[in-house]
Homo-oligomer: A and B are copies of this chain.
Amino acid sequence: MRDVAVIGCGMTKFGELWEKSLRDIFVEAAVKAIDDAKVDRVASMYVGSMTPGLFVGQEHVGALMADYLGIPHIPAVRVESACCSGGMALRLGFFEVASGYSDIVLVGGVEKMTDGADVTYALATASDQEYEVYHGVTFPGLYAMIARAHMHKYGTTREQLAMVAVKNHRNGALNPNAQFPGQVTVEQVINATMVADPLTVLDSSPVSDGAACVILASMDLARNSDRPAIRVIGTGAATDTLALHARADVTRLEAVNRSAEAAYKMAGVKPADINFAEVHDCFSIAEICIIEELGFAERGKGGPFTEQGHTALAGKIPVNTSGGLKSKGHPVGATGIAQVVEVVEQLRGTAGKRQVKNARIGLTQNMGGSGASSVVHIFTNA
């Protein structure tokens, strides 16, 4: 298997981009990534997108984006794994380059969520239609159940949940691409509009439009480029039951754990070797569970670990330096690639006020549904 590197990246600002269509925003990010990589061709394209069919009535977005990008004959395909469509697209693009079939591949993610579709229903199709959606449960409710169980089993406090949002907004305030760069306090999070008890609207990631793209290349080609090569040293993916009720312990996100174990093994690193991480904080409780499953915090201790500041920008393992889904925004198909954009910027040392000191190994964790899919990648500038 050949070594693979990221040699370019680009993203749109995340937000309510009403003046731009699905194809506009993807192409904006793709052109930025191509320019950044300084390549004059790509062999193929992967587009992560969760449900453009339900959001804007457009499937077949792989071919559409190749067409609109002005390169209508290259192979192009869409990849879908709910909210980890972007991360899975990266994994499949990685395989194409690693196999030796192609030298340069464009991998992007895109979602246009604010054009008027029923967003709550569209997102709910990532859960089990026959056993969950049919009975009326949607994602805020599912994550609220996880939060209640975690509070009951481990003593996680309401304030600790809020501290995830506070930290991520603090980081997002330093990110010019963030949808909601404003800062919030613990009191504001707790007293915000209730969505699904105990989660308020400020525990929840927003509804967003946006796109992000990266250029993958074989390491041989990357070495001959004058762009910094960010090597992909680990990829891991795993699934779990689609329905939350089918799990033995709803405080566990076993797919996260398994996807991380696979990536750690491939990269030959341990959790303690990771310098910083972008993780899937779709709701505040998600980040607490995820930092446990990734091995950063002990099982059940994600709340206190957050409270103690270990995941802050200056902490021992900075998490979501970009602002995360919470502050940066969560155009679902784009999220997994936007995480990679942040990691690349950190490893290049170009993250500005968000820069992590001595960043050498970074990790991305992207998740679908209530943890039914997870994909982890590990990157290094070494």
Residues of A whose CB lies within 8 Å of any CB of B are 1, 21, 23, 44, 50-51, 53-54, 56-60, 62-64, 66-67, 72-82, 88, 91-92, 95-96, 98-101, 121-122, 125-130, 133, 237-243, 246, 254-255, 258-259, 368-369, 372-373, 375
Contact = CB atoms under 8 A, between A and B. Distances in A.
Nearest to A59: B125
Nearest to A78: B80
A237 B129 contact: no
B60 A368 contact: yes
24 contacts: A1-B99, A21-B130, A53-B122, A57-B125, A57-B133, A58-B125, A58-B130, A60-B80, A60-B82, A60-B125, A60-B127, A60-B368, A63-B240, A67-B239, A67-B246, A72-B240, A73-B240, A73-B258, A75-B238, A77-B237, A79-B79, A80-B80, A92-B95, A95-B99
Contact of A239 (B56, B73, B100): B73
Contact of A88 (B77, B122, B128): B77
A163 B182 CA distance: 66
A57 B122 CA distance: 8
A373 B62 CA distance: 9
Given A100-B1, A129-B57, A63 B369 contact: yes
A368 B66 CA distance: 14
B92 A60 contact: no
